Amino acid sequence: MDYLITRPARKRPNTLGPEERDDMRARIKRAHLTKRDRFIIESYFGLDRARLTMAEIAEQLGIHEHTISKQRAAIWDKLAQLWD
């Protein structure tokens, strides 16, 4: 049971620090995303709006959560190209 105390805390996967937020905003601008794609990624990371779960984003857009997940992955691929 001691391992539970000494194990480091995990950061949520969609949590960004201040510098990461600024970097992500710049990459989003350079990626020329559609309004829908921008809404998805900004909502997921909580950039300039409340952070939402995938289910909440899907509900707001009126589509299935799985579709949002696939779109988020495609958006992430676009943004990842800007890291190269």
Q: How confident is the model at residue 5 (pLDDT cuts 50, 70, 90)?
A: very low
Closest CA to 82 of 24, 17, 11, 8: 24
3-state secondary structure of 78: helix
pLDDT in tens, 33-67: 899 999 999 998 888 888 899 999 999 999 999 99
Give me the residue spans of the domains in the chain.
Answer: 17-81
Distance CA 29, CA 32 (A): 6
Residue 80 in this model has a pLDDT that exceeds 90: no
H and E: helices and strands count for the chain: 5, 0
Q: If one looks up domain 17-81 in CATH, what number appears?
A: 1.10.10
Token pair for 53? 């779960």
